[in-house]
A and B are shown apart, each in its own frame.
Chain A
Amino acid sequence: MKRATGWDDQVASAIVGELKGRDGALLPILHALQEEFGYVDQRVVAELATALNLSRAEVTGTISFYHDFRANPAGRHVIKICRAEACQSVGCEDLVAHLKRRHGLDVDALSADGLLTIETVYCLGNCALGPAILADGEPVGRVDADTLDSLVARAGSERALTDGEVLS
């Protein structure tokens, strides 16, 4: 997954300009924006509407239909945790509780340090290996508390690295 940078209107316009000629360009553009920035800023709605001859309402409605399109920047790392039936039956809700109890992390929210977003998804198609998660786009199966602890720790240590506080 590409490391997201801050929103840039010029870069966004370039993406819109590059893709607007495609058939059914709205979704490809939204994907490209999310890929570039990690989210789709509300600011792009009017420009998208004009570029594609749609109404602003249509663009807004489309974005809102897909949970994957975020309205706000995600953390540097994203863990998507499956909470559909199959994973529920093998304990995914325990993992959700563990994240809260151990790390103080809420699902469908950004961590306080802004580094980690944990999102609910309903089925990753990896039921045989449940509980299943997607860690920064990589599928991980048979997830347990230890797996989560190490992922959370990795996200936290990166903060230390990027802040240049500790070089171990």
Chain B
Amino acid sequence: MSLIKETDFGTPARESDVTVTLTIDGMAVTVPAGTSVMAAAMQAGTKIPKLCATDMLEPFGSCRLCLVEIDGRRGTPASCTTLVEAGMVVHTQTERLAKLRKGVMELYISDHPLDCLTCAANGDCELQDMAGAVGLREVRYDKGGENHFDCAERDQSNPYFDYDPAKCIVCNRCVRACEEVQGTFALTILGRGFDSRVSPGGTDFLSSECVSCGACVQACPTATLVEKSVVAMGQPEHSKVTTCAYCGVGCSFKAEMQGDRLVRMVPYKDGKANEGHSCVKGRFAYGYATHKDRITSPMIRERITDPWREVSWDEAIAHAASEIKRIQAKYGRESVGAITSSRCTNEEVFLVQKLVRAGFGNNNVDTCARVCHSPTGYGLKTTFGTSAGTQDFDSVEDVDVMVVIGANPTDAHPVFASRMKRRLREGARLIVVDPRRIELVKTAHVAADHHLQLLPGTNVAMINAIAHTIVTEGLVNEAYVAERCEPEDFKRWRDFVSQPENSPEATEKYTGVPAAEVRAAARLYATGGNAAIYYGLGVTEHSQGSTMVMGMANIAMATGNIGRRGVGVNPLRGQNNVQGSCDMGSFPHEFSGYRHVSDDTVRHLFEGAWGVTLDAEPGLRIPNMLDSAVEGSFKGIYIQGEDIAQSDPNIKHVTDGLKAMECVVVHDIFLNETANFAHVFLPGASFLEKDGTFTNAERRISMVNKAMPPLAGYADWEVTMMLSNALGYRMDYKHPSEIMDEIARLTPTFKGVSFDRIRELGSVQWPCNDAAPEGTPIMHEKGFVRGKGKFMITAFVPTDERTGPRFPLILTTGRILSQYNVGAQTRRTENGAWHPEDVLEIHPHDAENRGIREGDLVSLASRVGDTTLRARISERMQPGVVYTTFHHVGTGANVVTTEYSDWATNCPEYKVTAVEVRLSNQQSEWQRSYEELREATRKIATTAAE
């Protein structure tokens, strides 16, 4: 094991069909046209000294260290800004260059503190390296150097990195990284000449526009911007490449370690999802992994009001198994089930569903995708034939018209948002369909051409209006439809959307968006070149979530925007492995690869492999499990890495269900809220503590590599295996790679996948099989997976959740950049500096009508429940719509959300709840009683002398 140092080519790689051959220091080098002399030299193994250049950024040409001599050219051009030409003869090391470079370094060093031995960058400083490379031996100007220690205070306001202006060499790399890579433009150079320094706009970092992605820290060649962890711990000595465990972008990281201690996470440039970029969560918010709240010993208890008793693994597993057996003996085979985790690896998910189907003998397995993207699976499978997004992330580079529907990428998928913003800065057009004015609508150097600010719950009316415009204005790509889609279905759909009630003029009364604006957006989508839809939970978490997914698929097919780069229908998936958990057979009706349990051929395949008879009937979904528990027929559950008592809608119903069960087994890294109702707690392992794979939103399977041993002794797959063995269903895997081999044997779309293959390719996108041995970046290229694309009728049916005199406002819910999901991880990091509590965003007009001022405590009530939180007056909202997040325990956003759900998949209608907001001076009844319940159910007995 050693520290992975990635090669820095100095300037970004260029793609070209034309190659150019030149000579560098006597060696012939062939590179794509457009490559810089610097990158060409590096390719030939020659490092040209440099400070302001790095291959994450466009060349800048300011440091003057990378000068070269080129035969036939005057002067000494900078190799970073000089492009290769055929036959060019370049010299990178000459007497003249050596003298020039020494002179430049002398100037740099004359203005830099020489405290190298006590500097945090010692051992990882490019300035130091360059002084060495040019052989700097003396500094003639102002010996000792101007140290600048008194020039400006260190800025330590950011919780994760420090800014020390004394060490700044004004190379602009951080400023350019913020602009080019992250797209936030939060940094600038303040002042000029000797006074010039990097600045987040004349304020401190924490109160600036900075989103703490850390691209500047990564770009800094000195210790000017440096991780606090490096300041505290020193330089790492080895690294492990692994995959982030936050959102569905699936960024690749180097976990840089000292022994078993994590020093920092550095995004990996070879990561195809993130290309060396990251967000504040992935790069910095890893402290939860070793937080003192981690539970490291298994625990059991009789009743949920008993204190937890720490026991051995053997006792905990034996107890859980005997309880499940007892319950099944008493209440029947169907009385138990499990929930798989979208946070765990593919292999772990596969084992849990196998445990249920083969060990429990039923199909009562579900996953948190139930509450997020189950409509995506249903809708895209129905129309295209595959339950997944159609594109890879790279595809965004060829998008001409970007449509963002019900997604807030800059907060929820920040690294992909940066790639979107880059493309938008290059000139792509943007249509945003969202009830809120999300950041993408207008932010530095990005502005939406159309913001269709519809009322929550009217997506389908909107998509039908767009379809109506496309069809009635003759914008259908008839040739594409004729060649690739079912003609009868298309005709039916065309007749349906052409009806006057689907016109933008008619739907305006539902959506609130002027018809002319809708028509203009529809025309742009249909005629603006490559058009791609990116969407999130604002599409799926509705009573018509599945309808909307199919509605988007319809317009993509009608305009020929499926099956090549730059187009597609792309769900931005929320959790690191939610795509994977769905792929692995987490749904009660499907085996891995989305094959129905009633399909005899498929079931027999699994029965043969697993040596048991399998149930041909679909099992219970999460809401059905909870309903059955309340009714008394469902008594035991094994929940791996999911906190349904915080994340699922109508919390009272969830907790009533959990309370009604006789054995709740929670397998998690923290004592989460669901554990308040549990009888067995099995300590889980973080992503740093195990091997396996995650699958991201673009179907990309990436390796998770163990960087430290599991704190509690076992990786999650090992625990599931122990539980299965205790139940009497034998599982015997030595390593997760054997589980993946089994998945590949049993799943056609994974046939070519193995740990070796993934390592060989870096990552691979399913389907990966004989037909596509290197995976499939873009789906449906030669035709739809289901054969012909299927247009579906998408009649708009307003939700039953209506506003009225008692509940006149609509609540919609979402996320924020610094927190993640239920916050179990991010709340246990310094990310609270940005978002210490959930707030209710409310339009100034609605606030004024209710006498609400910024920061006031307000009661948020629906017909289901009420909670109290602070108000934030925000013009991002439209009048009549309020917004909150669900990241903090006790906020109770989901006390307020209702039991309504998607007609096809039961995905909850989180995005539409009729509410009233009033000034309040106290916590709600639920909050007080829940606080009492927490007090009563979270005690851990102090270990008695044994």
Interface residues of A (CB under 8 A from B): 42, 45, 49-50, 53-62, 64-65, 67
Contacts and interface: CB of A to CB of B under 8 A. Distances in A.
Contacts of B443: 53
B184 A55 contact: yes
A53 B188 contact: no
A62 B423 CA distance: 25
Contacts of A50: 442
13 contacts: A55-B184, A56-B201, A57-B187, A58-B185, A58-B444, A60-B199, A60-B201, A61-B188, A61-B190, A61-B201, A64-B190, A64-B191, A67-B192
B442 A57 contact: no
B444 A53 contact: yes
Contacts of A56: 201, 208-209
Interface string B181-219: 000111111111000000111100000110000000000
Nearest to B185: A55
Given A55-B209, A56-B209, A58-B185, A64 B445 contact: no
Contacts of A53: 442-447
Contacts, number: 58
Contacts of B445: 53-54
A67 B195 CA distance: 12
Contacts of B189: 61, 65
| B interface SS class | loop
Contacts of A60: 188, 190, 199, 201-202
Nearest to B190: A64
B202 A55 contact: no
Contacts of B442: 50, 53
Contact of B209 (A57, A61, A64, A65): A57
B202 A64 contact: yes
A49 B444 CA distance: 8
Given A54-B445, A57-B200, A60-B199, 8 more contacts: A45-B201, A53-B442, A53-B446, A55-B185, A58-B185, A58-B201, A60-B202, A65-B189
- Of the candidates A45, A64, A65, the one having the most CB atoms from chain B within 10 angstroms of its own CB is A64
A55 B182 CA distance: 13
B206 to A, nearest CB: 14
Interface string B431-447: 00000000000111111
A121 to B, nearest CB: 14
Contacts of B188: 55, 57-58, 60-62, 64
A57 B447 contact: no
- Of the candidates A45, A53, A55, A59, the one having the most CB atoms from chain B within 10 angstroms of its own CB is A55
A120 B202 CA distance: 23
A65 B184 contact: no
Interface string B269-280: 000000000000
B186 A61 contact: no
A55 B442 CA distance: 11
B543 to A, nearest CB: 37
Contacts of B184: 55
A61 B444 contact: no
Contacts of B199: 57, 60-61
A45 B209 CA distance: 13
B191 to A, nearest CB: 5
B139 to A, nearest CB: 26
A145 to B, nearest CB: 30
Contacts of A54: 185, 444-445
Given A55-B201, A60-B199, A65 B191 contact: yes
Contacts of A67: 192
A49 B185 CA distance: 11
A53 B443 CA distance: 6
Nearest to B192: A65
Interface string B591-632: 000000000000000000000000000000000000000000
Nearest to A54: B444
Nearest to A42: B202
